[in-house]
Structure 1
Amino acid sequence: MSDTVSFGYTDVSPEEKTAKVGEVFRNVASRYDLMNDAMSGGMHRLWKDRFVRRVRPRAGEAILDMAGGTGDIAFRLARSGAQVTVSDINAAMLEVGKERAAKKHVEGLAWSEQNAEALSFADRSFDAYTIAFGIRNVTHRQQALAEAHRVLKRGGRFFCLEFSTTLWPGFKEAYDVYSHRLVPKLGKLLAGDEESYRYLIESIRRFPTMEAFRAEIAAAGFVQAKVEPMLGGLVAIHSGWKI
């Protein structure tokens, strides 16, 4: 295991990354929807709808939504009647999610503070594991994937929604300008926090290519690992099955 890991464009110790990521999400927790709007032009809602359709949640299933603090994915999953556990390493994010659930009158969700790299759940506890816009913030990604595999039942499915790098000529360059130059400025203007938004953009650029991440999922033991790119790969849905 490497002595350093990426935190945006800098390399830091694993312990420092965990602490710094925690600070970022404590800073942005109350403005998380605003952050997603700024980073995606509001399109994250459509991407999340599509993501949940791919998961195909069913009534009575046990689903773990990891890094799901604010509840965006869990609220969509719960409409099916699935039993959803919302987990996040960041307590501030979970508190925002609980407040949002109360306002939306969404009941029946379980909330659990968890580290994706060392889950407290028993082996083969869940029918599906979802993680949306969270895997790139994990300190040791392969450990998190191994834990996802461990807590899934045989026949369970893994789904990940994450930013990647678009391959569309022209659009790629335009989005790079927008994300690097404008999103941090929007963060400063709308949330008073430029540095957290800068990290979030930089973390996307340091994330593996779609194919490289698909290979990581396969290496964790998932079969039929595949990727579905959107907007040429600006964001992608990765998936795999446990047998």
Structure 2
Amino acid sequence: MADDKTTHFGFQEVPWQDKASRVAGVFRSVAPKYDLMNDLMSMGIHRAWKRFTLELAGVRPGHRVLDLAGGTGDLAMKFSRLVGDTGEVVLADINEAMLGVGRDRLFDAGCAHNTRVAQVNAEALPFADNSFNCITIAFGLRNVTDKDKALKSMLRVLKPGGRLLVLEFSKPIHKPLSKLYDIYSFNVLPRLGKAIADDAESYQYLAESIRMHPDQQTLKGMMEAAGFARCDYFNMTGGIVALHRGFKV
């Protein structure tokens, strides 16, 4: 890889090798108030988005689930109950501050018996081939530097027949909603971040990173190019969020 290769960090162009550390700084800053801010920013709707993700996961007792970019562990807790005593959930995140919050929440919720935490980079997952029945990555893929490499890594560790679910902010499908969403994202979010988490810059990055993320059709094509089959997606809240699904054959 050329030393002068760049990528985007929000609307900024930064050296390719610098993005991961910059994203890490954002999430170290927001980790203590992450769940509260999620509720406020989405007016609680993120819970419905994640509930739909759980419904499409097809997870049963005995399954192994990898919750990538799982942060504070809200999905991992739900999966822990679905896989039961014979299954396992791995809560994985590249950020140690987010992972610490998630580990404590899993312990407090009584999920320690069938969960473990792992600090990993999605681009180079340290798991054996064909390890998991299901992989989820919720609101994390847009922060990954090399998304194509990460998708291939996810495919490798999925079992044949296993599925990947990517829950991510996407592109509103109606122009009036898109305009309102822009006003909210670039005017309200940073002010909310300043008021609640004393951090306007991280939430400015959030808004910018959403705009730089591939749209629904592009991400579907990226999943297909990585080797996933039967790829589809489901728009929610007018396309503000989309859930992408793909299978390993």
The TM tier, using the shorter chain, reads over 0.9
How many pairs were matched up?
243
Q: CA deviation at 1:171?
A: 1.9
AA matched with 2:240: L
Runs of 4+ displaced beyond 4 Å:
none
The corresponding residue for 1:88 is 93
Render the CA deviation track for 1:163-208: whole Å, top value 9, x for unaligned.
0011123222111111110100000000000001110111000001
1:209 aligns with 2:210: no
Give the Cα separation in 2 of the matches to 1:168 and 1:37.
24
Question: Is the 2:91–2:118 Cα contact (8 Å) retained in structure 1?
Answer: yes
The corresponding residue for 1:105 is 110
The corresponding residue for 2:127 is 121
Question: Is the 2:67–2:91 Cα contact (8 Å) retained in structure 1?
Answer: yes
Give the Cα separation in 1 of the matches to 2:44 and 2:91.
23
The corresponding residue for 2:193 is 187
Question: Is the 2:90–2:115 Cα contact (8 Å) retained in structure 1?
Answer: yes
Q: 1:15 to 1:38 in 2, by over 3 A?
A: farther
AA matched with 2:213: F
Give the Cα separation in 2 of the matches to 1:60 and 1:167.
38
Question: Is the 2:41–2:189 Cα contact (8 Å) retained in structure 1?
Answer: yes
1:58 aligns with 2:63: no
Question: Is the 1:88–1:115 Cα contact (8 Å) retained in structure 2?
Answer: yes
AA matched with 1:98: R
Question: Is the 2:76–2:89 Cα contact (8 Å) retained in structure 1?
Answer: yes
SS for the counterpart of 1:121 is coil
Give the Cα separation in 2 of the matches to 1:198 and 1:42.
20
The corresponding residue for 1:72 is 74
1:140 corresponds to which of 146, 150, 154: 146
Render the CA deviation track for 1:97-131: whole Å, top value 9, x for unaligned.
11112232223211111000011101111111110
Aligned pairs for 1:27-42 (under 5 A) are: 27-42=29-44
AA matched with 2:73: G
Give the Cα separation in 2 of the matches to 1:86 and 1:102.
12
Give the Cα separation in 2 of the matches to 1:5 and 1:206.
10
2:240 corresponds to which of 209, 219, 234: 234
Q: CA deviation at 1:96?
A: 0.2
Give the Cα separation in 2 of the matches to 1:13 and 1:123.
31
SS for the counterpart of 1:51 is helix
Give the Cα separation in 2 of the matches to 1:231 and 1:95.
31
TM-score between the two structures when normalised by the length of structure 1: 0.97
TM-score between the two structures when normalised by the length of structure 2: 0.94
Q: C-alpha root-mean-square deviation of aligned residues, in Å?
A: 1.2
* Structure 2 unaligned spans of 5+: none
* Structure 1 unaligned spans of 5+: none
